[in-house]
A and B are shown apart, each in its own frame.
Chain A
């Protein structure tokens, strides 16, 4: 019988759709940070506009993933039993809250749409993404290591 705890992938077990889209907001928000850096260095508006759309797309898809994950946590107890499930969801929530604030900052007109607050928020979002990812990974490795001798 397939035991989800013995499968490393299960640590991030979610709705299959959530899995499919989970990396989308991450990619958007990392690219948004790169765009903000480019705008800060060049003052070329293309980067600001692009960052706005990336934040927007990341928020829309991220919100969808968050919804699926919350539903999964509430109604699928086996998933809930594992730490990294809710860890990932909580991390995503923080990133989306920061992303929403960042979108409002980016909607300003001119230089102060990005420098400094927009850029700082973009950095903060990517830092939270990294921390969540790293903690989730560490947890998976730990649990896998624990599970294997019994397997």
Chain B
């Protein structure tokens, strides 16, 4: 009896020790970490940590009362542009100055595969403040400021019952809507306040049933020929299997005439905020990096998107920082990974980006990028929940960012969360606030407006002519020279000569 008592005591003590160790792992909450070390081209990347209980701190959404606004610096003025929306995510300005607001909710019905999925779904619903009855969403609303005084005079829901839309583009009397599973093309002439025609599907995009990162953003190439669509990964870090990631974590290039699509750049975990730099004609985007490596990994980033480039996800981050959670390891693929241009610090959840094309803002905002940071939820010290401005020089980020729109967080509550940003028809910055159900307008405090409206999509004069109807499109000459995206070529299979795909994976 004494013997078994001792055995039990030892067992109980071991259990307690493990529990203490586990809880000790939760001590690092990120509040004593200077996040500014992770902003810029060379972020400080601490060692990954894998605490047993992941940090989780979601600000409760309390919304805005009448008269309340976020805060802006003294040389700017913020007003509510449109209120009572249903989860506005992105704004898009047409060449005539009309603003389209995409309101959307994520698709439902993602299969619950693990006990964790049920818990996560519950937490995300708190984060988005949608615990009560919901107004219908998945709408595109047109906002018209007829007299260019910064106030909306007309409001029309031009598209309803869409399938979780996010990105928009407009060219040649066609409105392109990136729903979560396809790019839809609607005949739409500028000035119309309704769309009655049925769309045609330009190209399908990776959709359900898993569809983990569902937001598909759009940008029109400066020559008007291609649409660029962002397709986020189908998991945090391949926990749904690599086969679920085909064509994902990538930016697609879609031929506007034929719908032919290919992966333009890959390894981008959750890209959004696609826009061509008006000076250099290079595509830029903001990317949400992976979670559960601790409060200070991995920094989200702003980057130029190079054709054919691979940015690491899932096998590595910031070049060759290997993520051991992905099996089997692929050093041959990690070797190809390139580091992004400009880190924004960890878990800020950058979801929107715009260059100040056609803006009428104070001169310090003339050359740079505005970024909407939705805000952290897997980090104890809040990060993000604001709109920042990253100054550019010679087409590249240069220097530290400035806070532009802040004041979303009050203690452990938040009144709203910024997502998409854009420039309206009068040159002011618009910010879609999906939790506060508002679009905010940030204008110069002196009330200046731009001489003429400028659309979000900039098509350069003398663009490569579109093929007239009835003729076959010119073949893409660059297509064959590209290496396919690593997630498109049976990535779960080891390369030849590495011991075969059947050998058991090694211990880490």
- Residues in chain A within 8 A of chain B (CB atoms): 40-43, 45, 49, 52-53, 56, 83, 87, 90-91, 93-94, 97-98, 101, 103-105, 107-113, 115-116, 121, 124, 128, 131, 135, 139
Contacts and interface: CB of A to CB of B under 8 A. Distances in A.
A42 B113 contact: no
B188 to A, nearest CB: 41
Contacts of B507: 115-116
20 contacts: A43-B327, A45-B239, A53-B115, A56-B115, A87-B4, A90-B12, A91-B11, A101-B18, A101-B52, A104-B52, A109-B236, A109-B291, A111-B327, A111-B508, A112-B325, A112-B508, A116-B507, A124-B14, A131-B11, A135-B4
B464 interface: no
B114 A98 contact: no
B328 interface: yes
A92 to B, nearest CB: 11
B11 A94 contact: yes
Contacts, number: 94
Secondary structure dominating the interface of B: loop
Given A90-B8, A94-B11, A107-B116, A112 B19 contact: no
B292 A109 contact: yes
B241 interface: yes
A135 B9 CA distance: 14
B325 A49 contact: no
Interface string B477-508: 00000000000000010000000000011011
Interface of B: 1, 4, 7-8, 11-12, 14-16, 18-19, 22, 50, 52-53, 113-116, 235-241, 291-292, 323-328, 492, 504-505, 507-508
Contacts of B19: 97, 101
B108 to A, nearest CB: 21
B18 to A, nearest CB: 6
Given A107-B116, A110-B238, A111-B327, 12 more contacts: A43-B328, A94-B12, A105-B52, A108-B292, A109-B237, A110-B239, A111-B505, A112-B50, A113-B239, A115-B508, A124-B14, A135-B4
A116 B508 contact: yes
Residue of B4, B50, B235, B504 with most chain A CB atoms under a 10 A cut-off? B4
A101 B292 contact: no
A111 B505 CA distance: 10
A110 B7 CA distance: 35
A83 B2 CA distance: 11
Nearest to A91: B8
Given A90-B8, A94-B12, A128-B11, A109 B235 contact: yes
B295 to A, nearest CB: 15
Nearest to B506: A115
A65 to B, nearest CB: 17
Nearest to A90: B8
Contacts of A115: 505, 507-508
B11 A108 contact: no
B505 A52 contact: no
Contact of B241 (A45, A108, A124): A45
B239 A109 contact: yes
A23 B19 CA distance: 25
B115 A103 contact: yes
B499 to A, nearest CB: 14
A52 B114 contact: yes
Nearest to A96: B15
